[in-house]
A and B are shown apart, each in its own frame.
Chain A
Amino acid sequence: MKTGILAFGLSAATVMAGPALADKLDDIIASGKLRCAVVLDFPPMGSRDADNNPVGFDVDYCNDLAAALGVTAEIVETTFPERIPALMSGNVDVAVASTSDTLERAKTVGFSIPYYAFENAVVTSEKAGLTGWEDMKGKTVGATAGTYEAIWLEGKVKEWGEGEFRPYQNQADVFLALSQGQLDATVSTMEVAEANVKSGNFPGISIADKAPMVPDYVALITLREEYGLINYMDLFINQQVRTGRYAELYKKWVGDGEPANLSIPGVYR
């Protein structure tokens, strides 16, 4: 009898508490599926292989996160500007899409701790022949719309008060314009710059210099109020570094060398 009441009470509690407390983390586990927004024209972070399957650092990272949650991963291709609509409309649960963690954006979405950090490179066309980043002053420069480096570069052009800034819709158009000589220089992450210079798709471009920006820390994002999921992602990123998986993925997609340090000396978080 007593156990009966207890069982009833417990099940009643579950029924009542269940829907009220279920957050995104519970929803993902319950649905058995983690949907990640990934940008797939951003090698080596995201791209498609010869068979048109999504591959890259971000794709593997999403798969790892899904494995940790015990669910299957589903990669949803988005462009940089589409990441937020995809999240907000509930088409994806998280975005593993090299999202720079600016304070302005944190007013709108919820950021995890950084999972990667980019160095940015200045890429120039042979015709323009820039040798250092200062040479960009007064030139026609461009970058991929909606990215951290585009925001930085546009700010620089405004600060210099001369030259022109052009935000192209995707990385491929930026390098096409650069290769045609429509742009004199662009700023893009070192990894992307190297991959594109090496690919040979865009003749006449080369890396001129490092861009003098603070490292571009990128984080996973989800809805601002999903603390449960954000907490989980923080711990997950910590574990990725702790277990050496971060270094392993770096080696696989970026190459030899040290992956960037994700902690900042002298401050928490």
Chain B
Amino acid sequence: MFNYNFRWNQAFNSLPQMLEGALVTIEIAVLSMMIGITVAITLTVFRLSGNRFLSAIATTWVEIARNTPALFQIYMVHFGLGGFGIHLSPYMSLLIGIAFNNAGYLAENFRGALKAIPDTQTRAARSLGMSSGQAFTNVVMPQMLRIAFLPMTNQMVWAILMTSLGAVVAMNTDLYGVTSELNARSFRTFELFAIAAVIFYLLTKAITLSARLLAARLFRY
């Protein structure tokens, strides 16, 4: 039996603080995506390079990022590196942890996208006198990013939701952190987390909708 009387006024009073937290959540998600995309492109280039050492780095990164829980990755950035005397703030630990995870997943998305681009395009570009680097940046990469665009918005949504894992590294300024501190004060658990859930929903919905609009504009043929 659910034995609870919902009383919303106390929780609604905390809304401004929660919205501030939502801004931090967006900030982390956006930054982590920017870092993640940059690293993922680098990892993709490493894999294409044919250099065994570089592609081993890329494979290890992708394997760890995709096959261990994000919670573990974030925890290890904070406490694992902490054991070696590298002390990162909760904000940095969370950002790096999510960026690490993003890079792994995105690199795999990019690999899939590359598979969809016929080799003949690279050959055509090379035959026009482009270097292999030019062929990649001017011909292949734009198409790769286009094909991987929707998976990238998925990852962005995932990044927003992953910010809630910051709790394990004592993050207290993001949406989840703010909500759980408010909860410790007033014990209005269900109201506060219901509001947080709605904010999370609106954030991710806004991301997917704007991504769809952006895609419609960017990828018009």
B residues 1-46 touching A (CB-CB < 8 Å)? 1-4, 7, 10
Contact with A along B81-93 (1 / 0, CB 8 A): 0110101011000
A residues in contact with B183, CB < 8 Å: 81, 84, 146
CA separation between A150 and B177, bound complex, in Å?
13
A182 within 8 A of B: yes
B185 within 8 A of A: yes
CA separation between A89 and B184, bound complex, in Å?
17
User: B62-70, B110-118, B165-173: which lies at the A interface?
Assistant: B165-173
Partner of B82, one of A104, A108, A166, A180: A180
A176 in contact with B79 given A85-B189, A89-B2, A90-B2 (CB within 8 Å): yes
In the complex, how many residues of chain A place their beta carbon closer than 8 angstroms to a beta carbon of chain B?
33
Contact between B170 and A180 (Cβ–Cβ < 8 Å)?
no
B residues in contact with A151, CB < 8 Å: 184-185
B190 within 8 A of A: yes
CA separation between A112 and B190, bound complex, in Å?
23
A203 within 8 A of B: no
User: A31-39, A128-136, A167-175, A233-241: which lies at the B interface?
Assistant: A167-175
A211 within 8 A of B: no
A residues 99-149 touching B (CB-CB < 8 Å)? 102, 104-105, 107-109, 142, 145-147
Partner of A88, one of B2, B87, B168, B172: B2
A177 within 8 A of B: yes
A166 in contact with B4 given A80-B184, A84-B187, A182-B87 (CB within 8 Å): no
Contact between A84 and B82 (Cβ–Cβ < 8 Å)?
no
B residues in contact with A85, CB < 8 Å: 189-190
B146 within 8 A of A: no
A residues 158-199 touching B (CB-CB < 8 Å)? 164-169, 173, 176-177, 180-182
B residues in contact with A105, CB < 8 Å: 185-187
What is the chain A residue whose CB lies nearest that of B4? A88
Of the candidates B87, B170, B177, B186, the one having the most CB atoms from chain A within 10 angstroms of its own CB is B170
A223 in contact with B87 given A85-B189, A182-B82 (CB within 8 Å): no
User: How many B residues are at the interface, by size bracket?
Assistant: 20 to 34
B185 to chain A, nearest CB (A): 5
CA separation between A145 and B91, bound complex, in Å?
16
Contact between A146 and B170 (Cβ–Cβ < 8 Å)?
no
Contact with A along B188-217 (1 / 0, CB 8 A): 111000000000000000000000000000
A169 in contact with B1 given A88-B189, A145-B180, A146-B180 (CB within 8 Å): no
Contact between A81 and B4 (Cβ–Cβ < 8 Å)?
no
A residues in contact with B7, CB < 8 Å: 108
What is the chain B residue whose CB lies nearest that of A82? B189
Contact between A167 and B170 (Cβ–Cβ < 8 Å)?
yes
A177 in contact with B186 given A89-B2, A167-B170, A167-B172 (CB within 8 Å): no
CA separation between A261 and B41, bound complex, in Å?
65
Contact between B190 and A166 (Cβ–Cβ < 8 Å)?
no
A residues 63-83 touching B (CB-CB < 8 Å)? 80-81
Contact between A107 and B87 (Cβ–Cβ < 8 Å)?
no
Partner of B3, one of A88, A177, A180, A182: A88
Complex A-B: 14 CB contacts under 8 Å: A84-B183, A85-B190, A89-B2, A90-B1, A104-B186, A145-B172, A146-B180, A167-B170, A169-B168, A173-B170, A177-B170, A180-B82, A181-B87, A182-B87
Interface positions of B (Cβ within 8 A of A): 1-4, 7, 10, 78-79, 82-83, 85, 87, 89-90, 167-170, 172, 177, 180-181, 183-190
Interface positions of A (Cβ within 8 A of B): 80-81, 84-85, 88-90, 102, 104-105, 107-109, 142, 145-147, 150-151, 154, 164-169, 173, 176-177, 180-182, 223
